[in-house]
Amino acid sequence: MKLASGGVAPLPEMFEAGVTVSLGTDSPISNNGMDLFQEMKFAALLHKSSRWDASVLPAQKALDLATVDAARALRVEDRLGSIEPGKAADLAVVDLRTPHATPYSRDNLIRHLVYACRGSDVRTTIVNGDVVVDGGVVKTVDERVVIERVQEIARELYGVAA
């Protein structure tokens, strides 16, 4: 949508034809935030709006596109994409006690994940059983150093001020 380089993918027809469809982000050039929660929300809302049909791409299907269907598209559904015995323990713990995600209940949890939550709501991330984000802080790299380096690279490439 940002680059206006396409239209709206005909997802209902693609699903009906058995096409493997998934959802992801590509790069900061065409997607500044790279927030998969926002991608789920935008995908669902765009399809509802373009079809004038609130039932198109329900929240559960948007979540599936980012999880089980993404694993299927990458042909790793035997190892990733869902929480099951024998699969990698890749989990995100999301804090729903934020103003934008309140109120919530078990009945609307998936809708809240898709329509209200943000990547910044992730408090803990576990990859293959190892905690890589704890309390919203990345444990595997020094974010401050990465951000500083990216700003340096941007200045070098584009003359962007810090």
pLDDT, block means (10 residues), the chain with 162 residues: 84 96 82 88 95 96 96 95 91 93 90 94 93 93 92 84 58
- Per-residue pLDDT of 115-143, as tens digits, reads 999 999 999 999 988 999 999 899 999 99
Place of tokens 């943000």: 118
DSSP string, 78-98: TTSSS--TTS---EEEE---S
Q: How far apart are the first and last CA of the chain?
A: 27
pTM (predicted TM-score): 0.86
- Give the CATH class of 89-162: mainly beta
Domain boundaries, the chain: 1-87, 89-162
